[in-house]
Chain A
Amino acid sequence: MLGWLWLVPTLPLAGFTLLALAGGRLTRRTIARIGAGSVDLSAILACLIASAFLGEFGAGGAYSQTLWTWMELEGFRAAIDLHLDRLSLVMMLVITGVGTLIHIYATEYMAGDEGYRRFFAYMNLFVAFMLILVLAGDLLLLFLGWEGVGLCSYLLIGFWYQDADNGRAARKAFVVTRIGDAAFLAGLLVLFTGLGTTQIEVLLVRASTEWPWGSGLAVVAAFLLLGGAVGKSAQLPLQVWLPDAMAGPTPVSALIHAATMVTAGVYLIGRMFPLFAQAPQVLALVGTIGAITLLLAALSALGQRDIKRILAYSTVSQIGYMFLALGLGSVSAALFHLMTHAFFKALLFLSAGTVIMSFDGEHDVFRMGGLRRERPVAFWGFLIGAASLAALPLVTAGFYSKELILSTAWSGPWSGDRVLWGAGAIGAFLTGLYIFRPLFLVFFGEPKSKPTGHYGPAMSAPILVLSALAVGGGWIGVPTFLARWDLSGTYPTSEHIAPELVAVALGLLGILVAYWIFQRSSDTERLAGLFRFGRWGLGFDALYDRLLVRPFIALARANQRDLVDLLYEGLARLARLGNRLLSLTQTGVLRWYARATVLGGVLVVATLILWAELP
């Protein structure tokens, strides 16, 4: 069974190829079958492989499959090989599972769109690249998947390219993540020159044996990889692209910009964790970035009016929690939160998509209201997703993963860990506040406009399945095979009951404040004005615009005439001048030529005579 591993990324790739080459002749029904079916098959296969893997290797094993040699040079060999261990196993299941649900949802959500075939082709290509990313056993192959998902993200953000704003958002996402990608590539080269291989397993062993703890090269390599992770996962200071990425269709936001691709940074750090463990400064930086990002993004989410932008900032904030967990050295906590986050955030996005569809493309939460009775599926989906995000105790998946992170922070060995815990606890309060704000505004209160759009079973079913996962995903708990994989080597127990209660209480308090402001208060708009500070993402966009974009554009404008080109233009102009001067002598008048000839003859003879007379 494990030998079929190569088929998992190949199936979506085949779906893409089929849709891209032959899709023009297919009916919409066939396109939907190919687009969603390829991912479905891939998910079923992934489940079978997972059970076979656990049966054969148990927790700590790893399965490798080398397909062929990609390139071979003297002293360097890159192979197309797949590597399956507990980390990539979880990622593979999340990607194919959530991917399947979102593809099914999209068959109906995108039904009226003229770019139906293009949409599914891009989505399949994305899933294929994402699977290559997580299954890669070679850092170079991982980089291929990394760039591939970036490309698909760009294509899908700008999916409705007729609107210039969407194209701008796509370019912004591409350029900003490219900054991180450049750092990743540099880190990859540092690792290769320092350790002589790109094979991840070999690389990590050599990093921990050849480089001493905290050595300069390890710090540089880890720092550069962190740069890549920060770009892809929209963490400070490269977080600005994700809210704009909501310009894409909602299923894209759910799959790429919430559940899978943006968590690739977390996966990268988890995959290269032994390297980060060699560089304690960088690891501390990871935690700090996570803590700051989760607070700033949560504050920004409070000020948004666009329902999708609220969820986008929420994604940034939740990935901040994952980075925080990684900074604490707990890959399993980060991965657990990644998994539950994929469930409840996809659920929130799909419910939000249904809401947007019901209001005919309206995104502003202040123009919605009273949708609770009209759209029960969307309401319950959003409620369960929001409860899970706000870590409602005991009944939601988000509670277990977030508490795992917070209790890890509390019981961490370093003094700074308590500060991280504090940030996480305040973040829990803000999370409850910012996610229940749209819930009350959209689903309660007076209906401000009549919902028109309708949706069928293909959109309801994924919401129901994800609701079940957002609740039940936590009862599975951290799979035990993930547990013994922390820096400390211990599974954090809930012996510290007091801090846990504080965090839970803060989360509930956030929900209560949201209820008080947006449900009970008669003057919602005025009180909502309190959160205006977060409207523009705390000014990061404006800052980057002033600091980087405008100087760059000014430079480009100054160089519009291409300064280097002036030299060559001057040469051309000189030649043209000579031509004009010489053509002046060609008058076409015969006697003029005769005169010139005589003059020339006289000059030659005179020169010869004078020359001869010279001593």
Chain B
Amino acid sequence: MTTQVPVEHALYLAAGLFALGLIGILVRRNLIFILMSLEVMLNGVGLAFIAGGARWGQADGQILFLLILTLAAAEAAVGLALVLAVHHRLRSLDADVLSRMRG
């Protein structure tokens, strides 16, 4: 019988990853780093789904993880394209420079 990783540990790791990504988004100003932090957060969420699927022996967790993976890929593609456009236009990747939508 293989040694099972307790579900709590997996969830701790997932929460840690999510928090790490969140802090990255809130703190970093570079758009590239913000996108990377977003990936980290998505992976944290994906890990939580895998752990949940393993805990209850259901395939749903893995299916959702696949969905998130695809989503992340699509989001990265669009996000990077936007970052390229921003850089092309403003010659800067600082998120705080993009404040023209002020009310």
Decide if A530 is an interface residue (CB 8 Å cutoff): no
Instruction: Check if B26 sits within 8 Å of A588, measured CB to CB.
Output: no
Instruction: Check if A598 sits within 8 Å of B95, measured CB to CB.
Output: no
* Additional A-B contact list (6), CB under 8 Å, known A584-B103, A588-B101: A585-B103, A586-B103, A587-B99, A589-B95, A594-B25, A594-B26
Given contacts A585-B103, A586-B103, contact A591 B29 (CB under 8 A): yes
Decide if B69 is an interface residue (CB 8 Å cutoff): no
Task: List residues of chain A with CB within 8 A of the CB of B99.
Answer: 587-590
Given contacts A590-B95, A591-B96, contact A598 B26 (CB under 8 A): yes
Q: How far is the CA of A358 from the CA of B22 in the complex (A)?
A: 102
CB proximity of A586 to chain B, nearest CB, Å: 3
Decide if B98 is an interface residue (CB 8 Å cutoff): yes
CB proximity of A606 to chain B, nearest CB, Å: 15
Task: List residues of chain B with CB within 8 A of the CB of A591.
Answer: 25-26, 29, 95-96
Decide if A193 is an interface residue (CB 8 Å cutoff): no
User: In terms of DSSP, what is the predominant structure of the interface of chain B?
Assistant: loop
Decide if B9 is an interface residue (CB 8 Å cutoff): no
Given contacts A595-B26, A598-B22, A598-B26, contact A590 B103 (CB under 8 A): no
Count of A interface residues, CB-CB < 8 Å: 13
Given contacts A591-B95, A591-B96, contact A586 B25 (CB under 8 A): no
| Residues of B bordering A, CB below 8 Å | 22, 25-26, 29, 95-96, 98-103
Task: List residues of chain A with CB within 8 A of the CB of B102.
Answer: 586-589
Q: How far is the CA of A464 from the CA of B86 in the complex (A)?
A: 100
Within 8 A of B (CB), among A586-605: 586-591, 594-595, 598
CB proximity of A580 to chain B, nearest CB, Å: 10
Q: How far is the CA of A591 from the CA of B22 in the complex (A)?
A: 11
Given contacts A591-B26, A594-B26, contact A583 B96 (CB under 8 A): no
CB proximity of A595 to chain B, nearest CB, Å: 6
CB proximity of A584 to chain B, nearest CB, Å: 7
Task: List residues of chain A with CB within 8 A of the CB of B98.
Answer: 588, 590
Task: List residues of chain A with CB within 8 A of the CB of B29.
Answer: 591
Q: Which 5 A-B pairs have the closest CB atoms?
A: A586-B103, A588-B102, A588-B99, A583-B103, A588-B101
Instruction: Check if A586 sits within 8 Å of B101, measured CB to CB.
Output: yes
Task: List residues of chain B with CB within 8 A of the CB of A584.
Answer: 103
Give A601's nearest chain B residue, CB to CB. B22
Q: How far is the CA of A584 from the CA of B103 in the complex (A)?
A: 7
CB proximity of A460 to chain B, nearest CB, Å: 83
Q: How far is the CA of A583 from the CA of B95 in the complex (A)?
A: 20
Give A595's nearest chain B residue, CB to CB. B26
Give B28's nearest chain A residue, CB to CB. A591
Give A585's nearest chain B residue, CB to CB. B103
Instruction: Check if B103 sits within 8 Å of A589, measured CB to CB.
Output: no
Give B100's nearest chain A residue, CB to CB. A588
CB proximity of B39 to chain A, nearest CB, Å: 15
CB proximity of A204 to chain B, nearest CB, Å: 76
Give B22's nearest chain A residue, CB to CB. A598
Task: List residues of chain B with CB within 8 A of the CB of A585.
Answer: 103
Q: How far is the CA of A583 from the CA of B25 in the complex (A)?
A: 24
